[in-house]
A and B are shown apart, each in its own frame.
Chain A
Amino acid sequence: GIQVEQSPPDLILQEGANSTLRCNFSDSVNNLQWFHQNPWGQLINLFYIPSGTKQNGRLSATTVATERYSLLYISSSQTTDSGVYFCAVFLDQFYFGTGTSLTVIP
């Protein structure tokens, strides 16, 4: 299967700060998604981004498929951004990274 690595594993931010989360994957894929798991455990779709760049409010994501990585940008972070961010790539199934645990403090 595909190896998916995320960094950093943990991140603590002051409210209003910006951050970049990274996802590296070991094989070519046609499907990459970013999810936010909130403190209540719900998995929220953030981006479906097999390649290119997308933006949604304060969040944006870029995937460079040829170099096998994706980046998730969070700008002007808010306490509600806290939680775990997962990237997942699809080959024959979804392979999840181990996540980045983000804590935004007021």
Chain B
Amino acid sequence: NAGVMQNPRHLVRRRGQEARLRCSPMKGHSHVYWYRQLPEEGLKFMVYLQKENIIDESGMPKERFSAEFPKEGPSILRIQQVVRGDSAAYFCASSPRLSADTEAFFGQGTRLTVV
């Protein structure tokens, strides 16, 4: 899982600012998943993307959150007008293809703190 790179590792934002979280998948992986982990809780699915496509965003809050995975460059999770409740660890995972029988690898996460 060392191949999935997330940055920054830690991010502090004031209420109302924007947060941009980046995820570079493992080489050869074209599928990216974003998960959120609130303190003392498990990981909750947010969004699943393939290059230039959002496949499933059923876990994304309806407002302020967006995600993209452009043809070139990392996947971006964007949170506008952050609030204290957005403070969490955000993980991304990548896999090589759309299939249930492939192993996914997670990045080290971005810990967002909203002050």
Contact = CB atoms under 8 A, between A and B. Distances in A.
Contact of B109 (A42, A90, A98): A42
Contacts of B44: 96
Contacts, number: 56
Given A41-B89, A42-B109, A94-B93, A86 B1 contact: no
Contact of B103 (A33, A41, A44, A97): A33
B108 interface: yes
Contacts of A99: 42
Q: Contact residue range for chain B? A: 20 to 34
Interface residues of A, number: 24
Given A94-B45, A96-B43, A43 B100 contact: no
A92 to B, nearest CB: 7
Given A41-B111, A91-B100, 18 more contacts: A29-B100, A30-B101, A31-B102, A33-B103, A41-B108, A42-B109, A43-B91, A43-B109, A45-B103, A45-B106, A48-B103, A90-B100, A93-B33, A93-B45, A93-B48, A94-B93, A97-B42, A99-B42
B42 to A, nearest CB: 5
B56 A86 contact: no
Interface of A: 29-31, 33, 35, 41-45, 48, 50, 86, 88, 90-99
B35 A94 contact: yes
Given A41-B111, A45-B1, A93-B56, A33 B104 contact: yes
